[in-house]
Every structure is written in structure tokens, then in C-alpha cells.
Amino acid sequence: MATQSPVNAILDETTSSSTHPSALQILHDWLTTADHKKIGLMYIGYALLFLVVGGFQAILMRIQLAIPNNHFVSPQAFNQLFTMHGTTMVFFVGMPVLFGFGNYLIPLMIGARDMAFPRLNAFSFWIAAFGGFLLYFSYLGAPGLSGAGSAPDVGWWAYAPLTARAFSPGHSTDYWTLAILISGIGSIGTAINIVATILCMRCPGMKLSRMPLLVWIYLVMAMMVFVTISPLTAAQIMLLLDRYLGSHFFDTQAGGSAVLWMHFFWVFGHPEVYVLILPTFAFANEIIPVFSRKAVFGYPAMVAATVAIGFISLSVWAHHMFTVGMGPGANTFFVLATMTISVPTGIKIFNWLATIWGGKIHFTSSMKFAIGFLFQFLVAGLTGIMLGSAPFDWQLSNSYFVVAHFHYVLVGAILFMLFSAFYYWYPKMTGRMLSEKLGTWHFWLFVIGFHLTFDLMHIPGILGMPRRIYTYEADRGWMMWNLLISCGAVIQTVATLIFVYNLIWSYFKGPVAGADPWDAWTLEWSTTSPPPSYNFAVIPGVSSRRPLWDLKHPEDPDSNYE
Amino acid sequence: MSEAVLIPHNSTEEWKLPSRGIVGMACLILAEAAIFIIFIVAYIFYIGKSLTGPTPHDVLSLPIFATVCLLSSSLTVHFAVNAVHVGKRTLSSLWLAATVLLGGIFLTTTALEWYHLIYRDGLTIRTNLFGTTFYSLVGLHATHVIVGLILLAFALLFSLRGDLTPKHSERLEVLSLYWHFVDAVWVVVFLVVYVLGR
Ligand SMILES: [Cu+2]
């Protein structure tokens, strides 16, 4: 699909400078940049780096669990692996990659030249990056340095009283706390930037009701960050006070409550899932219409459903705590609240299906991953309903069924849609198309590996295999399932390596993309690929939700229907 | 390769957007409010759950004077913003100085209260749950007062040097929003710690 825009193209003359900058200059340029596109790309690159690290940890765990009575890694190392894997994937892959896409796309989509606070943007990135560095610095050093040479091993939710000084000596837990506290500051900074950019930097005519759905959803996501990350920050401050000043917030010996930590953690933890998945809904809302060649179905319903999800997700946290014994009143409330959230998510799924329905579907790699997302998100939602009902959860809480469920969300939905977003926006970011051939291999291998791993993972959970277990006896009947799960993990690794290879190869050898390779409708496709540092030579003006449609079809513009 | 379509900009309709400084500060306040809520929830949850003394009833007294000072500093900073807005430099310096002074008095009373609690009543953050939640909540608020005072002191400095012109009034307004928030939080802390908790 080549560009068929009927309007005259303008040439951008400022980018063609003849002198080649030295490597040092380029490095200086990136380290000191306040350009939202460069910061966005740094966020994405940083997240990809940690994705590889977290994936490597997953592979080590799968080797350990592939056969019974295995001693591939030590029990201590295994505890560190699942803690670091979870912490890395949530805080140093999920958050930065989504902030990266948001940073890159939001100003382009609303016709702005940068974020509202470019320097705050750079600060937020670097402090978040420092958080990741601090977390992994825990692996370095020696036990002689007050136990500094040990990575955190308290699990990614770090339940009290395991984190107390008495049970977690040395500094491993401090690394965990500080890394999350610091990266949380970065998240708040970026979220402030996103809200201020969306509300205050829109180009003329870009009313709230005309914003691309991606921008709308990022607005809701950023608002959620304020009320999601902040409780975690507060809880981490309390934990630090407990560990360093001897206060008693989570110290049961002095009357403190370990359950309070659970509440504080999950007040963060559940909405965090939605903070992570809302941006992937945002991607779906841009990508599915373009490859179905139809305008998105039910724009107002999508916005309303997003806002509803934002609110409802704040009141469901204790469905992670049914086994604590909260009493029938609280259990019932949190079951019902959890069920309620399937209404707005159901609305979204039906809207996407209605968008595809009757459309002229282009099965690009991007669209394939989007369809995988739709299907797998539905399945993840269904097991979510199962776990959301308290009696069922009493049976399966803390089993591999739970692990399978949330990996279905995080990999099957979020990662699939992220891959889709990479195939869709890579041409804009680099000026080159990703190879469709490699993309097809990536997609099919990943689908096979994903389903082999995570479909089957439900079964040992039902058979009673607890999560975070180091090894198991041969007579439990879990071996065949675990072996197959581990095989699936290997296939996913191969697929991911193909993807990484594609990213690198296409950067140099991929077909040149042009400004608008997908014949799309939002403003980011109206500028060059990659865009110049000022984004738009002239600030655009819009009069409908699909400004490029209006340009390409002046005989039948969208603005006639608003 | 570097083709780009140009979307015309029709400047007929008026296009007004909110100020990014105020939006950004509102977001920061939302995030900070969430942090305070967690500390307040912890405070309320642990009221009366300390295993040993001293209890709030034994040692706390109502900080009426400090509260009056802090709340009136909200008024003075508001007057300072108005003065900067209309370009009255002396007046703005005066109101800013009053704000810093009132905030300083508040901090001093807190410091004195803590001094008495620690050395007279033997209450520290390690003593019991009351000490844990009291020092962390009041301390968190005091930290915000200190940050606000530092920023206000800079504003006062700029004002005295004559650098605070009407075009800076929006920046001072953003700062005053923060200060109003710090004061509003104190009302909640006061009610929870000194009224409900005693
Ligand atoms: Cu949840």
C-alpha cells in the first residue's frame, strides 16, 4: 500500500545536512536529548533490553522445572529468578515500553511538536532507567558488602513479614524497594507529562471528541498511574521506615498488620494490570480499523468503556486476597466488582469485532498479532472470571492456574498487541518496513509456543502444582505438562529472536516506508518517516477524527458526519 | 522519501487550551493526595492498636496556633499572586514574606512538639504503632511544607530583586496551588490525628 495522498507533498530540507556527526556527537545527542521521539525510542530500547533479560530468567526457570527433582539452579537462585523476572517484566519492561510508545506517538497524533514538559520527560526516563540499573546492581558485589551481592528474593509482591529485617537481612530487599520507588517517580513524571500534553498541546480543531482513541486511552491510563503508583510509593516508604528506622507498620510483633501490606500492594497491583493493558487497547483501536479499512466502531462507547474500566479497576484489588479470610461481606463485594469489570471489557471486544465485521481485512503481520490479541484476551478474561469468584479461587489460588491466567493476559494479550504495534509503527519510527516474511515466521512460531506453554500451564495448576515451587517429586503427575510447557518456552524464545533479528535487519535493509505506508488516517502519518525533530513544518489543523481521510477523500470527508 | 502531506490550518475558529502548568500541578496534587491517603488509612487503621503507651490522649495537644498560621498563609500567598498579577512589586514581596514567615512558624511549632514528644514523653517512631504512624504522617506533611517553603523563599528572593513581573504570575499561581494543597492536607491531618485519633 503506497501513499496515495492527493495533496501536494512538501520537501523537508532541513534534515539533509551533508556532514556526518561523529559517534561521540551522536551519543551526546541521545544522552542530552529532550525530544519526545528520542526519549520514546530510548524507553522502547531500554524495555527491549530488559525483555531479553526477563525472558532469559524465564528460560532458566523453565529448565529448572522441566523435569522432577532437578537441580539446574540452586533454590536460592530460583527464588531470586522468579522475583527478578516478575519485577523486571512489570516495572522495567511493561511500564517503559508503553510509556515509550506513548511518548513517541501522542504528540504526533495530536499535532504537537513535543510533550508539554520536555525536560521533565528526560528526567523521568533517566530516573526510571536508574531504577532498573539499581535493581540489577544487586547481582554485583559480594556478600561481604553487607550482603549486597544478593538479588531480591521475596517475590514480586514482597509480602510482609518476609521483608522485615529479621527475615530479609542484608540489602537485597532494599534494592527491590528503592528500585521500584525510584522508577515510580519516573512513572508519575511521565504520566503528568502525558496528561498535560493531551490537554494543553492539541493542534487547532483537535477537540477531545476528535482525538484518536489511542490518545484518549493514554489519558485514562495516565490518570490511573497517579492513583495506582502512588499507593505503592507510600507502601515502599513505610517498608523503608520499617527496615531503617525500626517503625512497626508491618511488624506483627508490635501489633502491626501483614494484611495491611497486602491491601496496599494490591491497591497498586490490580489497577497496574489495567495501566499495562489499556495502552494495548489503545494500539488495537488504531491498528484494527486501519487493517479492516473501516472507521472504528462505536467511538463514544470505547471512550466510555475505557473510563469505566479506569474507575471499576480501582475497587477490585482484594480479589487477590480471597484466601486471607476477609469475611463473606468483603468477599462478595470484591467478587461482584470483579465481575462488573467484564462489562466494559466486553463492550470493547464487541466493538473491535464490529470494526472487523464486513471490513476489507489486510492480514499483515501487525493485523495477525492484533487478531491473536483479541482471541487470547478473551480467553484470559474467561479464566479471570473463574478466578474472580471466591470459591473457585480458594481451590486454585497460588497455583500454576493463576500463573497461566496472568501470563495469558501479559503475554497473550499485552505482548501480542505490543508486537502488533511494533510492526505498525516501526516504519514511522525508522523509515523502513519490517520484513513481512520474518514477521509471518515470528507470528506463527510465537502463537504455537505461546499456546503450548500457557494453555497447558493451566493443567498442572488444576492438578495442584503451587506457583514459585523450586522442584517437585516424579510421582505427582506434573512432569509431562512441565516438559511441554518448557518446550513451548523454547519456541517462544526462537520466535522472539527472529523478531529482534527483524528489528535490526530491517533497520538497514528493509523496504523504504514513505510517510504513510498503511494508507492510515491519523496525523502521525502526515509527516515524514522518521519525523523531523520539530514533527510538523506547519502545525496542522483538523476538522474530524480522521484528518488524513478527509485529505485523501475531499469529496466525502468525515467532518460531514460529525 | 521525505514526503509529507501538509494539512492546512484554518484559523477561523478560536482555539484555547488550558495552561499546562496548572494541569501539571493538578496531576501532581492528585498523585500526592493518593500517597497521603495511604498514610492516613494506615493511621486510622492503627488507632488504638498500640501494644504499649504512650497514647495520643496522654501526649498530644491541639496545635491551634500552628493551624491558624498555616491556614492564613494560604490567604497571604493568594494575595501575593494577585499583587504579582497587577505588577505591585512591594506588595507581592510583603505578602510572600508573610507567607514564608507563617509557614516558618508552623514548622517551628511542629519541631517543638516533636522535641517534647521525644525528650519529655519518650515517644519515638520505634516506641509503638502510634509513634510509627504519627511521625510518618506528620513528617510526610512537614516535608511537603519544607519543600513549599523553599520554593516560596525563592519566589520571595526573585520578588525582592524585582524579577517577579506580571508575566510570571502564572508560575506563582502554580506554586500557590501546591501551597493550598499542603494546607488542605493539614486540615485532614489535623482532624485525623488531633481530633479523631485523640
Ligand atoms: Cu486483579
Nearest to B5 by CA among A376, A477, A526: A526
B90 Cα to chain A: minimum distance (Å)? 32
pLDDT at A556: 84
Give the orientation angle of helix A95-109 with respect to helix A416-430, to 10 degrees.
50
- For residue B132, what pLDDT band results from cuts at 50, 70 and 90? very high
Burial class (CB within 10 angstroms; exposed 0-12, middle 13-18, buried 19+) of A26:
exposed
Could you tell me the pTM of the whole model? 0.93
Interface of B with A in 96-135 (CB under 8 A): 125-126, 128-129, 131-133, 135
Integer CA distances (angstroms), A136 to A217, A229, B59, B184, in order: 32, 21, 45, 40
As a residue count, chain B comes to: 198
Q: What is the mean pLDDT of residues B174-188?
A: 97
Distance CA B91, CA B97 (A): 10
Of A78, A108, A85, the C-alpha closest to A156 is: A85
Instruction: Tell me what pLDDT residue A149 has.
Output: 59
- 8 Å CB contact of B8 and A541: yes
pLDDT at A398: 92
Question: What ipTM score was computed for the predicted complex, to two decimals?
Answer: 0.93
B64-72 long-range contacts (CB < 8 A, ≥24 apart) are B65/B109, B66/B105, B66/B106, B66/B109, B66/B110, B67/B186, B67/B190, B69/B102, B69/B103, B69/B105, B69/B106, B69/B109, B70/B102, B70/B103, B70/B106, B70/B145, B70/B183, B70/B186, B71/B183, B71/B186, B71/B187, B72/B102
Gap between the Cα atoms of A79 and A225, Å rounded: 29
Q: Tens digit of pLDDT per residue, chain A (562 long)?
A: 334 343 434 444 444 445 677 889 989 989 999 999 999 999 999 999 999 999 999 999 999 999 999 999 988 889 999 999 999 999 999 999 999 999 999 999 999 999 999 999 999 999 999 999 999 988 875 454 454 457 888 999 999 889 998 888 888 899 999 999 999 999 999 999 999 999 999 999 899 999 999 999 999 999 999 999 999 999 999 999 999 999 999 999 999 999 999 999 999 999 999 999 999 999 999 999 999 999 999 999 999 999 999 999 999 999 999 999 899 999 999 999 999 999 999 999 999 999 999 999 999 999 999 999 999 999 999 999 999 999 999 999 999 999 999 999 999 999 999 999 999 999 999 999 999 999 999 999 999 999 999 999 999 999 999 999 999 999 888 999 999 999 999 999 999 999 999 999 999 999 999 899 999 999 999 999 999 999 998 889 888 899 999 888 888 888 887 7
Q: Name which of B7, B17, B126 is nearest A202 (Cβ-Cβ).
A: B17
pLDDT of residue A3: 40
Euclidean distance between the first and the last CA atom of chain B, given in angstroms as a whole number: 72
- Residue A138: its pLDDT value, please? 85
Residues in chain A, overall count: 562
Give the residue from chain B lying closest to A184, CA to CA: B31
Q: Is the dihedral of CA A410, A250, A75, A460 positive or negative?
A: negative
pLDDT of residue B15: 83
Of A217, A215, A266, A257, the residue nearest A238 (C-alpha):
A257
**Could you give the domains of chain B?**
20-196 (1.20.120.80)
Per the omega criterion (within 30 degrees of 0), is the bond before A161 cis?
A: yes
Nearest Cβ partner for B4 among A195, A197, A527 = A527
Instruction: Work out the angle at residue A157's Cα, subtended by the Cα atoms of residues A141 and A131, and round it to the nearest 5 degrees.
Output: 45
Task: Provide the pLDDT for residue A4.
Answer: 38
pLDDT in the model for residue B11: 56
Q: Residue B2 has what pLDDT?
A: 40
Rounded percentage of chain B residues whose pLDDT exceeds 90: 81
| Nearest-CA distance A332 → chain B (Å) | 22
Q: Which three cell numbers stand for residue A72?
A: 539446574
Choose the mutation target among B38, B40, B127 for the interface with A, i.e. most A CBs under 10 Å.
B38
∠A397-A399-A404 over CA atoms, to 5°?
105
Q: What is the pLDDT of residue A13?
A: 43
Does the beta carbon of B14 lie under 8 angstroms from any beta carbon of chain A? no
State whether A230 and B31 contact (CB < 8 Å): yes
Round the average pLDDT of chain B to a whole number and report it.
91
